[in-house]
Amino acid sequence: MSQSDRFTMLRATDRVWAIGAIHGDSSKLMALHDIIAEDIRFGDRVVYLGNYWGYGKDGPGVLEELLRFRNWFLSYDPFRHVDDLVYLRGAHEEMWWKLMQLQFAPNPAEILLWMVERGMGSMMLARGFNPEDGAKQAKEGTLALTYWTNRLRMAARALPGHDALQNSLKRAAYTDDGALLFVHTGLDIDKPLARQADAFWWAAHSFARINRPYREFRRIVRGYDPDAGGIIEGDYTISVDSGAGRGGRLAAICLGPAGEIEQRVEI
């Protein structure tokens, strides 16, 4: 499969760091980055597995820290390539994209409430917007709601690096030897990557039922578990989510070339 705007191939490497859902917890992300920086090696790759904001209160701080670490990571090794550090699109990033088109939905007030119940409210509040105001605009009609979403979009775009991050998000990443596949929360193993549609974001509960290899990959790694079960290894899968932003810890793992976990970090 060739590289595209949807998928990224990680160049040959011995180790890949995979970072689970952050959910707006900037302090834990900074602490995790400090730990990784002490152990980083030349040639290492880094994959963030989505859900950078939502639930936690400091989405802007997470964005700032992601960009700070990226700048350090790319400057640490003169042979680094920009695709050696990858951001996957999480469910919250997907919801954000749909939020910007809320005025076109047949039932915008209900969809907005659904998003708020799944952590998007804190993201709106962090940008100075009350979700209740959005619900009121939805009841007033399409024009009023369009004005509200446009103001929300402009507030987000005013954050340094916001557009660059949104435009760099990938649906999945995989190592060039076909050993490791990185996804946000789920996967339909009966379909090729190009036909996964929304499974990357919403097929969470099917992940634990994967009982055979998917294509040529040895391990599938995901970063969001609705149950925040921690770092869980299956025969063909690894789940990396200890509940950051939801009262739990931020989790990350360092993987060897065959998908073996060389290091676990939960902070």
> 204-209, long-range: CB within 8 Å, 24+ apart, which pairs?
207/237, 207/239, 208/234, 208/237, 208/239
The count of other CB atoms within 10 Å of the CB of residue 68 is: 14
42 and 11 within one domain: yes
81 and 174 within one domain: yes
pLDDT interval class at 1 (50, 70, 90):
very low
User: Does 3 have pLDDT greater than 60?
Assistant: no
Q: pLDDT per residue over 45-88, tens digit each?
A: 999 999 998 888 888 899 999 999 999 999 988 888 899 999 99
How far is the C-alpha of 222 from the C-alpha of 54, rounded, in Å? Answer: 17
- Alpha helices by DSSP H, 77-207: 91-99, 108-115, 121-126, 131-140, 142-157, 162-168, 199-202
Q: pLDDT per residue over 206-237, tens digit each?
A: 898 999 999 999 999 999 999 999 999 999 99
Q: Which of 137, 157, 177 is the last residue of a domain?
A: 157
CB 180 within 8 A of CB 204: no
49 and 86 within one domain: yes
What is the 8-class DSSP label of residue 62? H
Residue 212 sits in a domain whose CATH number is 3.60.21.10
71 and 25 within one domain: yes
The pTM (predicted TM-score) of the whole model is 0.93
| Cα–Cα distance list, 224 to 57, 138, 217 (Å) | 18, 30, 20
How far is the C-alpha of 156 from the C-alpha of 148, rounded, in Å? Answer: 13
Please say whether the dihedral angle defined by the alpha carbons of residues 184, 190, 192 and 195, taken in this order, is positive or negative: negative
Determine the distance from the C-alpha atom of residue 115 to the mean position of all C-alpha atoms in its chain, rounded to a whole number: 16
Furthest C-alpha separation in the chain: 56
Q: Is residue 2 part of a domain?
A: no
Domain, as residue range, for 29: 7-90+169-266
